[in-house]
Structure 1
Amino acid sequence: MIDFAHMTISTGNLAFLGAGFGLGLLTALVLVKLVMHFFSDRFKALSNKALYENSRHFMDMAQSHFSGYVREAHQDFKVKEEAFTRAVDPVHRMLDRYEQRLGTMEKDRSQAFGAISQYLSDMAKIQHQLAKETDNLVKALRVPHVRGRWGEVTLKRAVELAGMVDHCDFIEQGVQGSGKGALRPDMVVKLPGNRQVVVDAKVPLMAYLDALETTNEAAQKERLDDHARQVMAHIIQLGSKNYAAAFSPSPEFVVLFIPGENFFSAALAARPDLIEKGVSHGVILATPTTLIALLKTVSYVWLQQAGHENARAIRELGLELFERLSTMAGHMNRLGKDIERTAATFNRTLGAMEKRVLVSARKFENLGVSSAGLPDCEPVSGSVLTLNRIKERSPGDETDE
């Protein structure tokens, strides 16, 4: 027999139990949601931490790699820079010396040509002064030692006006030979090329002084003829082989210095062929004016010699500069090749990093882990210019003129 009362109670119990089960199920769902939310946050935190750790490890590794590369490149560049500085420094000093030589040559040239007018003016003044003093010295010249001293002073003054004293290219009061036959030239002028010119100022003047004191024209002419003969005899003595052989090296010629224009003109009037005879014996007659011109010519020859020496020094500097520039060009080309090799190494390293490291690192962007993208690294492109080989002939191939 069915008990409906108990059945009713059982149905109520079932309803209560169903309500309790639903509440438990709802509670379980809430708990599951909470657990899923908790584990989702935890997983995201762990993912972000792992991404941060991997990114930091990657950046540390990249920074260490590139820091070493930068240090190595910096050291290599510093070595190349020091080598380049050592190569350029001698060239810089060479250019300074070259500029100094050019300045010296220009200064000497300006002084030489700028002083010509002053020398001509001094020559005119000394000629006028000598003409006045000649009359006052006639009586004093009869004394032998006074006459000799006057000739030496006049000779020295002419040398000073010619500008030969400062150059020290003449020798006063030299003695050649020994014993009674010793020769005593008044001056030996040194010429470039180990050559020399002998100057003698001991011209005989007694016959000329006698002619000045004679009022009779016939006697005066006779004394002037004697003066010309004495001068000619002295020319023959100076032109003798024994006189020239006493000097080493043998003089180019001998200069007979006549310390007054009037002495020379009087002898030349009595014997017009005096100059030709003197040249035939290797003796040049010179008055103060012509001696100054002669010594001035010698001075210009020395200046020309100095110019040739400067030109030779500049040529040597040019040759050395050319060689140093060639060496430096080789260093520059080698430096360019080193730079190209460094760039090639950098590009290979960059390519390896792109293929092996950055490809994996960029996957984090696709997973949405980080919104910050990795920067792009560009390879080094282009080539280093090289110095063309100098094809022109070297300055050393030129012939000196």
Structure 2
Amino acid sequence: MLNEAKKNLSDAFKALSADALKSNNQMFLEVAKSSFDKLKEGAEQDLIKRQVAIDQVIRPVKEGLEKFDQKIQALEKSRVGAYEGLNQQVKSLIDSQIQLRSETTNLVNALRKPQVRGRWGEIQLKRVVEIAGMLNHCDFKEQYVVGDEGNRLRPDMVVNLPGGKTIVVDAKVPLTAYLEGQETQDETLMQTKRKEHARRIREHISELSRKAYWEQFSHAPEFVVLFLAGEAFFSAALQEDPALIELGVDQRVIIATPTTLIALLKAVSYGWQQEDLAENSKKIGVLGKELYKRIVDMSGHFASLGGNLKKAVESYNKTLGTFESRVLVSARRFEDLKITDSKKPLNSPPPIENLTRVLQAPELDQRDQEEDHTKEAP
């Protein structure tokens, strides 16, 4: 019995314990679930707040990155466009260089021909004259041939100076050796060609000196101008032969490049300006004397006209006096006899009391005296 009661009691205790445990577990789970739900809700709200805060922090960065990306894309497009434009310009430059090289080659080949070189030198000479404004005072070779039949000389240009004097200019283009020296890469050959170029200019100086143009032109100074159509031609020759200038002066040949010839022609142009001023001054002097003479003659006419007007006024006043004393007196008797129906009184015209002004000038007195002497002369 005791064991059975003990067993029953144990079973009852177990049942109560199980029920209590189950009830406690159920309560724990409910409390835990309620706490977890609250924690979950708080965590979600905190997560939302943190997400909003993070978005607020990240949004400006995101917007800045988007703008930066847009600028990068715009710069890339601009770079591509600029690169294409640069490619076009480089291509155009290359084409221009090829065309320039071709034209330069054609020009060099053309200048190797003596006739073409001579014509080019004449064109350069005329261009220099145009720049200096001296076309009206320069005659070119088509207009000048000097010497006899056996020794006919034709200078390229004759510069006319004030006073009837002239300067003879002869154009030379020694290009063969110069161009060959420029084309070669061999320093020894280049030096040889430069010396040959200088020697050719020496020969031109001697040739012009022998022509003695100053003997063919009576009013020309005793020198002739050797015109080289390019500055580089002369400077290259001077590097090899610095005595070219002294040689030319000794042989009465002045070497001139476009720059120095323009300066020379400008000086001549200034001389022509002074000549024109002097000529105009002479013309002004002649016109001034003629104008003065005409003014004096006109003054005499004014004096004669004034005298005639004075005589006319005197005659008018004298006639008016006769009219008043002899004509009007008789005419007024008709009014007294009531013969006329006119109600207007018969008045006498007014006399002219203003006299003509006398023109007073010492020149007129002198002219009158000269005329009187002329009349009195037998």
TM-score, structure 1 as length reference: 0.53
Residues 337-370 of structure 1 show CA distances to partners (whole Å, capped at 9, x for unaligned) of 0010111112222333444455666688899999
Flag structure 2 segments of 5+ consecutive residues without an equivalent: 1-101, 365-378
CA offset digits 1:163-215 (Å, max 9, x no partner):
444x3742224332235543232122333332222111135444434433554
One-letter amino acid matched to 1:285: I
Q: Which residue of 1 aligns with 2:300?
A: 330
Q: Deviations over 1:195-240 (max 9, x none)?
A: 2221111354444344335545455434433433432343244345
Which amino acid is the alignment partner of residue 197 of structure 1? I
Partner of residue 289, structure 1: 259
Contact preservation (8 Å) 1:192, 1:301: yes
Counterpart of 1:149 (choices 73, 97, 119) is: 119
Compute the displacement of 1:256 (Å). Answer: 0.9
| Cα distance in structure 2, aligned partners of 1:133 and 1:157 | 21
Residue 160 of structure 2 contacts residue 167 of structure 2 at CA under 8 Å; is this kept in 1?
A: yes
Aligned to 1:388: 360
Separation in 1, partners of 2:104, 2:122: 15
Paired amino acid for 2:165: R
Residues of 2 paired with 1:352 and 1:134: CA distance?
A: 106
Structure with the greater alpha carbon radius of gyration: 2
Query: Deviation digits for residues 242-293 of structure 1, max 9, x if unmatched?
Result: 3321234435642211111110111222333433443454433222333344
**Aligned mates of 1:309, 1:380 — CA distance in 2:** 53
SS of equivalent residue, structure 1 residue 257: strand
Which residue of 2 is the match for residue 78 of structure 1?
none
Contact 1:164 1:170 (8 Å CA) reproduced = no
Partner of 1:170: 139
Q: CA deviation at 1:303?
A: 5.3
Alignment of 1:314-353 (within 5 A): 314-353=284-323
In the superposition, the TM-score normalised over structure 2's length comes to 0.56
* Residue correspondences, number: 260
Q: Tell me the distance in 2 between the aligned counterparts of 1:372 and 1:217.
A: 124
CA contact (8 A) 1:134 1:260 kept: no
Change (3 A) 1:340 1:223: same
Task: Name which of 174, 180, 185 aligns with 2:155.
Answer: 185
Q: Aligned to 1:275, what secondary structure does the other structure show?
A: helix
2:172 is the alignment partner of 1:194: no
User: What are the equivalent positions in structure 2 for 1:41-52 lying under 5 Å apart?
Assistant: none
Measured in 1, the distance between the counterparts of 2:312 and 2:246 equals 84
1:378 maps to: 350
Distance 1:189 1:372, change over 3 A: closer
Deviation of residue 301 (structure 1)? Answer: 4.7
Q: Following superposition of structure 1 onto structure 2, how do residues 42-191 of structure 1 map, counting pairs within 5 Å? A: 137-165=107-135, 167=136, 169-173=138-142, 174-179=144-149, 181-191=151-161
* Kept in 1: contact 2:166–2:220 (CA 8 A): yes
CA RMSD of aligned residues (A): 3.8
Distance in 1, Cα, partners of 2:338 & 2:120: 117
1:265 paired residue among 235, 238, 243: 235
Match of 1:110 in 2: none
SS at match of 2:167: strand
Structure 2 counterpart of 1:242: 212
1:208-219 correspondence to structure 2 within 5 Å: 208-219=178-189
Distance 1:190 1:374 in 2: 85
Q: Which amino acid aligns with 1:328?
A: M
Contact 2:228 2:255 in 1 (8 A): yes
- Contact residue 169 and residue 224 of structure 2 kept, 8 A: yes
- CA distance in 2 between partners of 1:229 and 1:363 (Å): 124
Percent of pairs with identical residues:
50
Q: Secondary structure at the match of 1:201?
A: strand
Conserved 8 A contact 2:178-2:193: yes
Q: Secondary structure at the match of 1:327?
A: helix
Cα distance, 1:289–1:390 mapped onto 2, change above 3 Å: farther
* Aligned equivalents of 1:293, 1:352: Cα separation in 2: 86
Task: Give, in whole Å, the separation in 2 of the partners of 1:158 and 1:299.
Answer: 13
The Cα shift of 1:300 comes to: 5.4
Structure-2 separation of matches of 1:288 and 1:351: 91
Answer whether contact 1:203 1:256 (CA < 8 A) is retained.
no
